[in-house]
Chains A and B, each alone.
Chain A
Amino acid sequence: MKVYEIIIFIILNFFIFFSTVQSKYIFVSNENSDTITVLNKDKKIVKTIRTGGRPRDMKFSLDNTLLYVVVSEENHIAVIDINSLKIINYIKSGDDPEIFDVSPDGKLIAVSNEDDNEITLIDVKTQNKLTTIENVGVEPEGVNFSKNGEFIYVTSEGTNSVVIINTKTREIVNEILVGNRPRRGLFIKDGNEYWVSNELSGSVTIIDTNNLKIIKNLYFSVKGIRDQNITPVDFAYSSKLDKVYVTLGSANHVAVVNGSNYNVEKYILAGSRVWGAALTNNDEELIVTNGNSDDISIIDLVKQTAVSSIPVGKTPHTVRVMQ
């Protein structure tokens, strides 16, 4: 091999490397086919990554080079290298992990262990378990670090509450009663508000994080659908548009909520049992996972309607878009 060939080879590789990193991917975890479907920005499936037992929540590392995926039945977090789209590592997560969050400084991961009523705290650098925080209620699910990372908010499905943990002391410092079966949480407005989806109450509780008072219990009403079938689960938030998108589960709709006045502006039809949600395309599109129809819906937020649906794996759970 001559020198110039080597140089061309290096340049080509360099080019391929950067073009890959710059392209946006959409990741969908399929909890019953044990895979992650990877789509490119044109929404074409480019790869299916096998993860093993029940992949659910996913988060990006701070530098956007890694994707963390909880693999619930394997009791670990798989680390996917976004460049090669391969699993490069596993982090032990405690039993039956479901939802997790990465701290704002990227140093910690907090995972909910539904079966053991615990939260596991992991050091990202060493990948060691730092501690488990017990007694966070029956079936903890949603986990969110507050904006400065000072607190961890945990939604507890079985105890209808949000448990607040001091990240430093690792102690439970507060507990707030919300609606029934709280599934996920979302910080908005620079962390000043915490929204909680109450699956069985069919509502969202909005908490002021400064005084921990409930600002509002937001109820939904979709024409032609029984209140008992309105089962809110996941959120997506556009700070640009000041809108919160709430997936309504068995109601098969996504609610568009005004972030300032809390009015529900629109219900957009999605697929069957709509759960996960993520924004893309400069907040002009919303992608949602439909757990009972094994597909994702692409919702055009300008037209406020679903424009296409793409089959993925069995029981899609979470969707994440590289920004």
Chain B
Amino acid sequence: MKILALSLALLALLLPATAQQSSERHLDEVLELVRGMPVEQSLRQATASALRDAVPAGRASSEVAYRYIGRARQLSADDAATALQILRAGLEGGLLVDRLMNEALKGWAMDLSWVEISGVLELRLEFLLAAQEGIGALQLDVEVCPQTLRLAILEVGWAASDHVLQQESPEDVAGMTSRVAERLVRLRGAAPCQGTVDAVLEALSPELVGQIAARALAQKER
């Protein structure tokens, strides 16, 4: 009886642990999904290659990518191609892409159409790439932590695009800069290497934010 009880206790302890392990998607499962996408082979290969670099580097998580690509597979061939192109562009641009994919998953959770979701995603992507370009060109006075710098770029691009998506005028550069600065201040506590965030905060100016917004909106217009 005691042996049985002990065995059951051991089993009860092991099962959740193994369940937790198995709930973590492996990169191979994500790549398998990409291989099954109804899109051109060159797009599949480029996306798979970008994911192979980004997941181990911590720029994308296999769990979020699995769910995003899993949902994208259910779209029409053209829409699935757009979904993969957005992901690929973010990955090849060196961005942290989980938030971008999560934005799409949020839209799907709201039962929105891909047209509505992709419009927001494309705008977000352009702001993130513009923020990458703008902040990447800065000469920061500190030795930066690469992952924290990526987080700061994400916050800058995301906050600026929030400003536009919330129907605020893109001409209101002061308001946009204030929103971006507020996000960076909040990021300080939630990110390692606060010095990197501080350096970006110090370099932040209405001119820089204005340039980022102008570049992003010009790209979106094309």
A binds B: no
